[in-house]
Chains A and B, each alone.
Chain A
Amino acid sequence: MTGLQHPFQCLRYVNRQSAGQSDILIATAGRNLYSYDASSGQRLDVWPQPVDANVEDNAEDKSSDAAPASESQGPPEKRRKLSSPSEEQKDAKSEANPKGSNKEASNSWTNIPLVTVAHGKYVVIMTSEDKCVRVLSLDNEGKLQQLNARTMPKKLSALTLTPDENNILTGDKFGDVYTFPLIPSGEYVKVQAPAKPYEPSATNLTVHTKRNLESLEQQMRQAALSKTNQAERVVLNFEHQVIIGHVSLLTELISVTRPADSTVGKRNYILTADRDEHIRVSRGVPQAHVIEQFCFGHTSFVSSLCVPSFESKVLVSGGGDNYLLVWDWLENQILQKVQLPGAEGETTVRGIWDVSLEPTTDNADPVKAIFVALEGSSQLLYYTLESDNTITHQDTLQLSGNVLELVGLDSRGSILVAVDTLRQSDSTSAWKSSSQPPLEAFRLSSGKWAPVEEDSMVIKINSEGTSNLPTTIEEKQQKELNDSMYNLGNLRKRGDSDE
């Protein structure tokens, strides 16, 4: 392998045995989405299709023509000050960029931080800079093809599906949760409100000071002038609904189903977490506006939520605190506080993953594993869930690079871990001189997770590698790449602003 390569940022395992097909591994690295045959490690497809080298190089200086629809979907532009009605100037800018959301702007993102898979045959991704949610079909041969692309108003921090996998749920940096169909039903026609002439909501009954009255007069002048500006802006030009809102940066969003028990039937919930230490429990769609509970206990931002597939009563949460909390989440009851290595104010939980293994010849009992990775750490913490719904630390796995992502291969009794190929172990900024393989596999054997040396899939994927970084890379670009991979630290409050 030569030069530096992008690490895998997201991994998803697609189990298709029930459909009589071979399993597929989905991965993102850099700006690409990959599909692999899960048994051989054969790369099946790359999306977007690589274009020839010249174009690829140009792609690096993005942004100029990139920020298409999203730009025009921002908040209304600031009105220009008018000193008198005669000085009107035509606002040409408002007519620019009527770019359709379906048109491919192939160079408008540098990474794909969010991925989920629906029905085993659709891959839903968010491309970073253009804030676009894209649904791709995954066919029998593992080929990827984009079906639709929808631009969101704000960058997403979480992406998941409703339990029936027919609707997408997104959480964004502004704190809003949207839902919209995986496959849009027919043509979306925005309900056009009849164009009303602009009317300032202030009147001389509500504002009184000299300056306020002056600016009111300004607004009146503006209103009289700019009839052309009144065309409604194209925001979220597709069928959608806002179902939950935090007045905070939303960090995580998961969808949970509690199976029926003796007293109540099957119920769906949505759990959301934010930068202001909150974990909120809402009902599932269509009653997401009913808040059932808040889980209070974190004293820093919450970045990771995990309700294990094998115990839906339990939530394991982590973030900027140097501890995990284990919850009976429907009761706002802390079952356990689990100390993490590292000092308060420095430790950040990057991810929490649940892996369940059926009993095998190696392991007599079923395994209920919880893995925890810290931001910028090459260690992976291994816990097991006990029968009293607490977790016990069993082991700490050492990897060759920082842990970025983990996926359980339940059927094989192993896990795949994506490690950082670029940065040195336990650093979020110092780069290596050459890349290392992006994947490592571990298998559980007599209670210990041991590295698997001869996994043909991993060997194959690692030998092919991902996409190369440019041979010369400037410090600024390095920093951008670091920031896009390790951004949880920015959620910490500095506590220096006040008025």
Chain B
Amino acid sequence: MATQNPPAKRVKREEYRRKVQAQQESTDGSAIKMPQKKFFRQRAHANPFSDHRLEYPISPAHMDWSSHYPAFVDPDTSKTNLSGGRKLTKEVEVVDIGCGFGGLMVGLAPLLPDTLMVGMEIRISVLEYLSSRIHALRSQQQCLKNKAANPSSTEPQDVSTQPENTESTPAPAPANDDEIGTEKLFPGNFENITAIRSNTMKFLPNFFGHHQLSKIFICFPDPHFKARKHKARIISESLNSEYAFVLRPGGLLYTITDVEEYHHWVLRHFLHGEQPEGGPAPAASSKDLFERVSEEELALDPCVRVMKFETEESKKVTRNKGNKYVAVFRRKADPEWPA
């Protein structure tokens, strides 16, 4: 892989993505093929301190979600937000921070078909993949539905599953991570998930208002192993303040990692450590805003199963026989103002 000639690879990628783009724009009613990950891979790290060239709304009230959730656009055309976009019938309330290729989003979509969910990812290529994937899933579901409604249709069967092989490279292994959605009908049609490119460390409050979210997922975050890179970690006491701002009291923040040290980092930044008996109370911090959810409760939460087994990264960890460390925190109510 590393020895491959990069320009050739790039040319092929661009060609492929143009094709995907063209396919999405065509509206001939046939199902859209699943995108292939290999054309969208990108280095697993991005510098969160860099400006990039990001698009983000001035404020949550300016965010136009209508193109992201066409099935949830309010039929009343007079209802618009501050940037003139159509309003939705409900608010987005689940966020996957660093959603990667979107395994969690796709896994959760049928589980919570009436909840609007968004994956946020800083890497352009990965985001493009996920957007194409969601688009394809929706169109496949639509085709399946049409077929079910009209069984006499003579549409070619294999259009959605057969990877195209016009390229000179040897045929890739079947994209086995996307068998979901191709054969079976799922509740919600994947209309309730979308993906957005963003740097949440800087711009999360631009997308979501005070107490808007019920769940935040942070799955297999970049561990930033080196001590000098720890400041780039997505979990920190000051970022936890922002998560608390957008998360409603009672809302949950899910974390999972395969790095034990990072797991302890997470616990350390969400919970007060053991206090010495009779010692001074711990200094007030964003730790006061969260409590850990018990193992018993997690065992009953289907979201934890999706997080543990259906995200791309969790599958990779399973393949490599690594460990998975889960910690979920509940947002407590804000403390009383000091008298």
Contacts and interface: CB of A to CB of B under 8 A. Distances in A.
A499 interface: yes
Contacts of A176: 238
Interface string A256-267: 000000001101
B223 A201 contact: yes
A342 interface: no
A495 interface: yes
Given A205-B322, A247-B48, A247-B201, A287 B58 contact: no
B261 A201 contact: yes
Contacts of B259: 201-203, 206
B206 A296 contact: yes
Contact of B46 (A75, A175, A290, A499): A499
Contacts of A296: 58-62, 206
Nearest to B42: A499
B323 interface: yes
Contacts of A76: 227-228
A384 to B, nearest CB: 29
Interface in B285-305: 285-286, 288-289
Contacts of B58: 277, 296-297, 299
A176 B241 CA distance: 13
Chain A interface residue number, banded: 35 or more
Given A75-B228, A297-B58, A267 B238 contact: no
Contact of A498 (B52, B227, B323): B52
B117 interface: no
Contacts of B205: 278, 294
Interface stretch (B21-29, B31-39, B88-96, B331-339): B331-339
B237 interface: yes
B337 A264 contact: yes
Interface string A68-88: 000000011010000000000
B237 A245 contact: yes
Contacts of A498: 52-53, 124
B283 interface: yes
Contacts, number: 114
A221 B61 CA distance: 53
Contacts of B201: 247
A289 B50 contact: no
A293 B210 CA distance: 8
Given A206-B258, A498-B52, A290 B202 contact: no
Given A289-B286, A297-B59, A493 B241 contact: no
A307 to B, nearest CB: 19
In the A-B complex, the 8 residue pairs with the smallest Cβ-Cβ separation, listed nearest first, are A245-B238, A296-B59, A201-B261, A75-B228, A289-B286, A205-B322, A247-B201, A291-B245
Interface of B: 43, 46-53, 58-62, 124, 201-203, 205-206, 210, 223, 225, 227-228, 231, 236-239, 241-242, 244-245, 258-262, 283-286, 288-289, 320-323, 334-335, 337-339
Given A265-B337, A497-B50, A499-B46, 6 more contacts: A78-B228, A206-B223, A244-B238, A244-B241, A247-B239, A287-B335
